[in-house]
Amino acid sequence: MSGIDLHTHSTASDGTESPAALVTSARRAGLEVLALTDHDTAHGWDEAAAAAARLGVGLVRGMEISCSRYGRSIHLLGYLVDPDHPGLATEIGYAREARVSRRRRMVEKMAADGIPLTYEQVVAHVPPGATEGRPHIADALVANGAVANRDEAFVRWLGNDSPYYVRHYAPDPVDAVRLVVEAGGVAVHAHPFGRGRGAGAGDPLIEEMAAAGLGGLEVYHRDHDETARQHGLEMAERLDLLVTGSSDYHGAGKENRLGENTTAPEVLAEIEARASGVVPVLR
């Protein structure tokens, strides 16, 4: 097993540890390299970079871009992208804004049904500057004593099949792949066959993404059972895609542990070689 974990979240989105605390956790878990991939933002990069330099942990700066097509939610990891690339910055900015009005609508629907929750309570659980999401609604429900943890909130009220679920704007996955490449980065489809995430992209769309410049598939992920992993490996082989593995760590927000799935050093080297170098890997 390598010590390379290429998918984690901090308080810059829906993780529960600050970027610096996350790097400390990575060091404690014995990781050599960590990728910080908060949802739709590079907000945590500078703090993580300073901590990584201090603690001697390698850092891949990235983001997890929310995408959607046919109402399906698709997550795309963009590694080593220039966060100031105008096209990319515009799209993730729209997605972040759309999440704010979406929160209001979800909370209104829930409150109308008697679930004890106010808009202000949710606001209080979004860390300053963070990309907000349903986990912050969950945190407000936990604080209210309505549920014990985030998972229970998702099972009862926040899941994609819930009547309270509201979609938000997100770019098309094929456009997002092109933007990541234009921004000098490498695009990897996060948890492409994850269960409990709705329909997922589906093979034809993954093929379309591959034709647009997708670099890899995150095959080793806790949401993939053995069948999904086999399918992912076959698809990666057929479409000439890299295979990565990651924890998708969210601190205390999920059970996922740092380093529970990892990426081979040769694959990271290939990601580094394919990126344009605007944003280098820090070692």
Per-residue binding letters, 49-88, with ligand AMP (x by CB under 6 A): ----------------------------------------
Name which of 178 and 254 has its Cβ closer to ligand AMP. 254
Options 187-195, 219-227, 250-258, 265-273: segment touching ligand AMP (CB under 6 A): 250-258
* 3-state secondary structure at position 55: helix
Binding-site member from 61, 96, 150, 224 for ligand AMP (CB under 6 A)? 150
Q: Which residue in 19, 135, 184, 259 binds ligand AMP (CB under 6 A)?
A: 135
Among the listed ranges 87-95, 118-126, 249-257, 260-268, the one in contact with ligand AMP (CB under 6 A) is 249-257
Site for ligand AMP in 158-187 (CB under 6 A): none
Contact status, residue 114 vs residue 58, Cβ threshold 8 Å: no
Q: Give me the helix-helix angle, 173-182 and 86-112, nearest 10°.
A: 140
Pairwise CA distance, residues 188 & 176, whole Å: 11
Residues that contact Zn ion, how many (by CB under 5 A): 2
Span interacting with ligand AMP, options 121-129, 131-139, 211-219, 227-235, rule CB under 6 A: 131-139
Q: Is 6 exposed, middle or buried (0-12, 13-18, 19+ CB in 10 A)?
A: buried
Q: 121 to 180, contacts with Zn ion by CB under 5 A?
A: none
Positions of E strands within 23-171: 33-39, 58-69, 72-79
The residue whose two tokens read 């080297």 is: 269
Identify the DSSP state of 8: B
Q: How far is the CB of 272 from ligand AMP (least distance, A)?
A: 26
- Residue 123, class by beta-carbon neighbours within 10 Å (0-12 exposed, 13-18 middle, 19+ buried)? middle
Does residue 75 interact with Fe ion by CB under 5 A? yes
Binding mask 8-47 toward ligand AMP (x if CB under 6 A, else -) reads ------x------------------------x--------
Residues 56-115 binding Zn ion (CB under 5 A) are: 64
Which of 3, 133, 185, 192 touches ligand AMP (CB under 6 A)?
133
Q: Which two tokens stand for residue 113?
A: 């049904």
Distance CA 6, CA 159 (A): 25
The token pair at 175 is 């456009």
Residue 248 engages Zn ion in binding (rule: CB under 5 A): yes
List the one residue out of 185, 189, 221, 182 whose CA is nearest residue 205: 189
Q: Is 134 in the site for ligand AMP (CB under 6 A)?
A: yes
Backbone angles phi, psi at 137, to 5 degrees: -65, -45
Question: Cα separation of 164 and 144, whole Å?
Answer: 18
List interacting residues with Zn ion (CB under 5 A): 64, 248
List interacting residues with Fe ion (CB under 5 A): 14, 75, 190
List interacting residues with ligand AMP (CB under 6 A): 14, 39, 133-135, 150-151, 154, 250, 253-254
